[in-house]
Structure 1
């Protein structure tokens, strides 16, 4: 069983279902509205936990009902929440415009997520050092991600960076402490200025990310699959074809499932990507982030059905 620590965001999602994105100045009626737990950190942690990883979380919530709800979601998934603390700012929120096509556009209020300090990372030092993997994203502060990854690397913990939402100028010190970076094609383009449209351009972007310091790369390509590149191997792993209803948390589900399976030496990377891709394909067939994330039993059953 992998021990996974997630340093990340906790958001309550408000999902606004619309036929399409409105034009500037246009008023458009929603077809439905609902709330659900989310945040990239929470999604990734719950995905890892539901796939059998012993999962811990470092993050912040507000002293409000949304914060208590997010804490209960983590605890219900069996996640260690000792390092989830309360901030004076409100719990993070995300407003998701979900189109009939299944595509989404997301607006985020960081709130308590942006209040993570170096002291919080130091308080979690033992948790980090005892992990097999630590995962973080860009919905919490960069400096604290760098601090956490330094602690992890000193202890031989594998560091995994999901660079989302993507930023052009990422601290080189952070990238040099990354064992695995997992952008989607849009994020890879922002990071490298290489437009990723196929396996050739994915190779170029992955090579650039390795030049910037990341040791291993997975670029998720939506319906085309996931391209990976290590020091010795590269390949495009095809996606499972499904009808997507809501792509929210597809990438987060993929990453959490991946680190639940991955060996620390990456010796089973392709096999882990296949498992993660199946988990993601299940998640996109339901509305919402946390509610859509499958369990290990569901993923294994779906993989068995493919044989």
Structure 2
């Protein structure tokens, strides 16, 4: 990122469909998931394009509300020479989803095995979505991104599976993670908040998972040359959910599948353009 008063050149620039929720939905759909999408866009060309992109992957879009009063959310992604990114987000329509809209879409929640939410939408809509999901016996997955120092207690109590990256975990627990012991301590702190399953994505180091009073361990990442890490975490979450059985009995296999999918994503540029299809992922 340029410093104040500094102007720097970019080697290239392009526009791609994105958004954490949309990326995760597309990753799930491309890997066997039957996906419903609940959200909001503005009455603009970007909103129309995003809905069309979701439809191309056979994602049900009737849960997307078009708002006249604002623009579609956008993200501005800077990628350095090592393939690592930094992102600035304009929330737009995402931040204006109402509880009433969520209630109107409760049938989409009821027919799902999992509901995945991110912090690109407002907290009230997440809480209402998770309330409905829990009433209907649907497993809730929270991706706490962009990171927040304080997650409302009600949302924590309604979350079954938390999937942060390392930076997001540090933000939630309020301490730096520099080694394995600190990572495990931080995950245990999340368990103490009441969340049963924690899965931490660690980039090139893979994934650490922990089930309260159950299994825990590292699943290593594949060794690849990353050129753009945009949507890698989203790819992991979407493909993990697509492969996870409703009784959670194959969590290790689902994590391994998500890892392999993400390893393909980081070898390509863009967000949704980089997300692999099931036919590309070889688990042998």
Q: Distance in 1 between matches of 2:113 and 2:40?
A: 22
In structure 1, list runs of 5 or more residues that go unmatched. 1-20
* Partner of residue 102 from structure 2, selected from 75, 99, 121: 121
- Residues 139-188 of structure 1 show CA distances to partners (whole Å, capped at 9, x for unaligned) of 00011101110111111100000000010111001001111000000000
* Partner of residue 52 from structure 2, selected from 58, 72, 87: 72
Is 1:297 aligned to residue 283 of structure 2?
A: no
When structure 1 is superposed on structure 2, of 246-255 and 201-210 the one drifting more is 201-210
* Partner of residue 233 from structure 1, selected from 193, 198, 215: 215
Is 1:285 aligned to residue 267 of structure 2?
A: yes
The equivalent residue for 1:51 is 31
The equivalent residue for 2:9 is 29
Is 1:107 aligned to residue 88 of structure 2?
A: yes
Is 1:208 aligned to residue 189 of structure 2?
A: yes
Q: Aligned to 2:62, what secondary structure does the other structure show?
A: strand
Higher strand share: 1
User: How many pairs align?
Assistant: 282
The equivalent residue for 1:194 is 175
The equivalent residue for 1:136 is 117
Q: Distance in 1 between matches of 2:165 and 2:179?
A: 12
Q: Distance in 1 between matches of 2:228 and 2:75?
A: 15
Q: Aligned to 1:282, what secondary structure does the other structure show?
A: helix
Q: CA deviation at 1:265?
A: 2.4
**What's the TM-score, normalizing by structure 1?**
0.90
Q: CA deviation at 1:77?
A: 0.5
Q: How does 1:150-169 map to 2 (within 5 A)?
A: 150-169=131-150
Is the 1:185–1:197 contact (alpha carbons within 8 Å) kept by the matching residues of 2?
Answer: no
The equivalent residue for 1:87 is 67
Q: Distance in 2 between matches of 1:197 and 1:269?
A: 26
The equivalent residue for 1:257 is 239
Q: Distance in 2 between matches of 1:131 and 1:196?
A: 35
Is the 1:176–1:213 contact (alpha carbons within 8 Å) kept by the matching residues of 2?
Answer: yes
Q: Distance in 2 between matches of 1:198 and 1:55?
A: 37
Q: CA deviation at 1:27?
A: 1.4
RMSD of aligned residue pairs (Cα, Å): 1.0
In structure 2, list runs of 5 or more residues that go unmatched. none
* Partner of residue 149 from structure 1, selected from 111, 125, 130: 130
The equivalent residue for 2:250 is 268
